[in-house]
Structure 1
Amino acid sequence: MQTATLLQLGAIGLLAASLPLAMVWMSADANKYRKLVWVAVFLTFDLIVFGGFTRLTDSGLGCPDWPGCYGLANPFLAHEQISAAEQLMPHGPVTVVKAWIEMIHRYLAMGIGVLIMALMATAWVQWRRTRSQTFAPAIPTALFLFVCVQGAFGAWTVTMKLQPVIVTIHLLLGMGLLALLAWLGGRADYLVKPQAPGGSPAALRRVRTLAIASAALLLVQIALGGWVSTNYATLACSDFPLCNGKLVPEMDFEHGFTLWRELGKTAAGHYLPFSALTAIHWVHRNFALVVVVVLGLTAWRAWPHAALRPTARYVAIVLALQTASGLATIYFSFPLAIAVLHNAGAALLVLLVTMLNYKSKYQLDIALRAPARAPVPAEIHSR
């Protein structure tokens, strides 16, 4: 790729980041760093949702090279090549619309990369100047490294022709980026507005354990959901609660869960049997029951604590909506809008469960540091 194209792409990334950076700079919020963190959270959530839309509209190869489109900075410049590919295969992976969807996704990702570099630079400068815990640079630096790895997997997603394991890891890294930003945002909030302990250490420790378990199970479920999506197994079971009329349908777990293989192929290069797609869908569907139970229990345990109740309430609401959208995807034969909402619900659960983890950890820490009440002398009781 020519140097001019790379410079043009860099300029587009700076342009994409300029508006949110200007909004942060001109905002009335005195804590610009905290504001920048939450703007990055919002845009990363948007990027994940738009990435789901890109995948669900089969636009991942709308531009079959990376980082540009046919070696150029935007689909306008590559219009001739895109149109020629579309004429050869009108319903193929390369069309004008799909090229724009893919490149908008990349532009947004570049803009977020610039925001995270600004976040890291601000953290390091302010940390060296003030040594304030607010600007501790470990997480911002980890975010920068995370973005670099995520960019590499974004490139491999295209160059390896949507290989399912690469696309699934790309999704998981996006969710991990959102979780890290949410954790950083939670820390910024609590450093600005410290809160008093709202429960006993024993009760908060139970909530904390459940919150960690919820995060782990949610990670597995998102990986399974990504595996369903990247293998196009959403409609492998066309009914519910049965799967193709059976409680336990015919399934091929060996081929379904072989990770390193081409899209639609077995490791040996043969076409993937339908029973493998059924296995992928069936596992995701049944593991969802485990996730619903554990996240529901976590929200219930967190509810009595005033500091955790708002987040617990939102977890319960989004969990119910996510379950409904998953069922609707099956009953309505995979409509695009509901599928995108289901992807957005998963990202929102990641955000909320991360916040619940941070808040429960914070509440537990200050509860453990709080001085214990002195025992009442026995002679007072006797009066």
Structure 2
Amino acid sequence: MEVSNFILLALTGILAASVPLALVWTATGTHKYRKLAWVIAFFTFDLIVFGGFTRLTDSGLGCPDWPGCYGEANPFLAHEHIAAAEALMPTGPVTKVKAWIEMIHRFLAMGIGFLIIGLMVASWLEWRKARARGVRPTHGPALPTLLFLWVCVQGAFGAWTVTLKLQPVIVTLHLLFGLTLLALAVWLGGREDNLLAAPPAAPPTVLRKLRPLAWLSGAVLLVQLALGGWVSTNYATLACNDFPLCNGQIVPEMDWQHGFTLWRELGKTAAGHYLPFSALTAIHWVHRNFALVVVLVLGYTAWRAWRLPGLHGTARNLALVLIAQATTGIATVFLNFPLPIAVLHNAGAAGLVLLVTMLNYKVQYQLELALRSPRREAATSASHP
């Protein structure tokens, strides 16, 4: 890719970031750092949803190189190459529409990268000023720096997704790392919220019992996200065409070995043969049945947190999104994989990540707050006999 095209591509990413940055900068009131943190979380959520749309429309190779499109900064400049590829294969991986879907996804990703750079720079500048004054910085730079490093890793996997021709394990990791980026951004946003006003804390004994459940919910959700990504990247969504049975059976014929061999080409076994349908069935069946574990664990966690002060709203939203996610998953099979429902299912996964992360943060923060309060009261009583 020529330097001039690379510069134009970078300027496009800066332009994508400039609008939300301008809105944050010109917003009334203070706490612009907090607003920027939540803007990053919001656009990361959007990026994950649009990434799902990109994958579901088979647009992942709409531009078969990286970071540009046929070495150009946008599909307008690569129109001749795209038109030639589309003429050879009108329904193939490269069309004008698919090229734009893929590049819009990249533009949005670059914009988020520049927003994170802005957040990281602001946090380091604030840290240096606080250090010069001999006070503790309000916004620590560690988490924004981790966000920056993580988005760099995510960008690398985005490149490998294209250069390795949608290899399932790479695409699945790309999805998981994107969801992890969302979790980090939400954790940062939660921290900034609590710097403004501490939420009411539940009793420490209750929070201690809830914390392992919140952790377990995160672990169970991570496994299901990996399984769901594996279903999507292997195009196994309709490997079971009915529900609750799978192709008319409780336990259908399944090829576990080939289905869960990680390092292989899309649609192929590790030996290079075509992937048998029974392997796709195994992939789908595991994801479907593990969903029951997710519903039970996350549902029980939401129920336990429902009546606790400061956690009711998060628990309620978690329960609602969990129900919606189960509904869209079943509807995807019953309605023969309609694109809007599939995109909603992908958005539901991101929503669960957001809410489980927020629940974990609030439980951890409230527990620390509740444990600090008695010590503070004891210290005050000792100083005033």
Q: Distance in 1 between matches of 2:199 and 2:241?
A: 49
Structure 2 SS opposite 1:333: coil
2:131 equivalent to 1:106: no
Q: Select 2:239's aligned residue among 226, 229, 236.
A: 236
Within-5 A mapping of 1:38-57: 38-57=38-57
Q: Which residue of the partner structure matches residue 58 of structure 2?
A: 58
Q: Which residue of the partner structure matches residue 377 of structure 1?
A: none
Structure 1 SS opposite 2:243: coil
Q: Which residue of the partner structure matches residue 358 of structure 1?
A: 361
What percent of counterpart residues are identical? 71
Q: Which residue of the partner structure matches residue 341 of structure 1?
A: 344
Q: Is the 8 A contact 1:29 1:35 kept in 2?
A: no
Q: How many angstroms does 1:106 deviate by?
A: 0.2
Q: Distance in 1 between matches of 2:5 and 2:29?
A: 37
Per-residue CA deviations over 1:96-139 (Å, capped at 9, x if unaligned) read 00000000000000000000000000000011112545310110
Q: Which residue of the partner structure matches residue 13 of structure 2?
A: 13
Q: How many angstroms does 1:304 deviate by?
A: 1.8
2:176 equivalent to 1:172: yes
Q: Which residue of the partner structure matches residue 74 of structure 2?
A: 74
Structure 2 SS opposite 1:58: coil
Q: How many residues end up aligned between the 2 structures?
A: 373
Q: How many angstroms does 1:206 deviate by?
A: 1.4
2:159 equivalent to 1:155: yes
Q: How many angstroms does 1:150 deviate by?
A: 0.3
Structure 1 SS opposite 2:206: helix
2:205 equivalent to 1:218: no
Q: Which residue of the partner structure matches residue 368 of structure 1?
A: 371
Q: Is the 8 A contact 1:196 1:366 kept in 2?
A: no
Q: How many angstroms does 1:195 deviate by?
A: 2.8
Q: Select 2:186's aligned residue among 182, 185, 199.
A: 182
Q: Is the 8 A contact 1:256 1:276 kept in 2?
A: yes
Q: Which residue of the partner structure matches residue 307 of structure 2?
A: 304
Q: How many angstroms does 1:194 deviate by?
A: 1.7
**Runs of 4 or more above 4 Å deviation:** none
Per-residue CA deviations over 1:221-279 (Å, capped at 9, x if unaligned) read 01100000000000000001100000000000100000000000000000000000000
Q: Is the 8 A contact 2:200 2:309 kept in 1?
A: no
Q: How many angstroms does 1:205 deviate by?
A: 1.1
Q: TM-score, normalised by structure 2?
A: 0.95
Q: How many angstroms does 1:370 deviate by?
A: 2.3
Q: Which residue of the partner structure matches residue 381 of structure 2?
A: none
Counterpart code for 1:339: A
2:270 equivalent to 1:267: yes
Structure 2 SS opposite 1:63: coil
Per-residue CA deviations over 1:152-198 (Å, capped at 9, x if unaligned) read 0000000000000000000000000000000000000001112342x
Q: TM-score, normalised by structure 1?
A: 0.96
Structure 2 SS opposite 1:233: coil
Gaps of 5+ in 1: 375-383
Counterpart code for 1:318: V
Gaps of 5+ in 2: 379-385
Q: Is the 8 A contact 1:243 1:249 kept in 2?
A: yes
